Amino acid sequence: MFIIFGLIIIGLSLVSMCINVVQIKLEHFFEDLLLMMMEEYENAQLTEDGTLVGPPDMQHGLGMMQMWRMWKKRRQ
């Protein structure tokens, strides 16, 4: 019974560690995405009618796939 209790404690600690690693990776991912979006919108200019004018790839907004590609480029 003591051996099983020890194995359960070890298993729970490993699962907890894995969950923490995934949480940290997700936090870094979303932080990088937020910083990237903030940089893009800082580079964009606001016109008189309230629309954003930026680089040609941002003319119609920033799509999810574009954010993903820019994030991958930034990570390299």
pLDDT at 41 over 90: no
Q: What is the pLDDT of residues 54-72, one digit of tens each?
A: 555 555 555 666 666 776 7
Give domain limits for the chain.
2-75
Cβ(49)–Cβ(67) under 8 Å?
Answer: no
Residue by residue, DSSP assigns 3-65 as HHHHHHHHHHHHHHHHHHHHHHHHHHHHHHHHHHHHHHHHHSEE-TTS-EE-SGGGTT---HH
Query: Measuring CA to CA, how many Å separate 31 from each of 25, 45, 71?
Result: 10, 23, 11
- The reply to whether the predicted model has a pTM over 0.85 is no
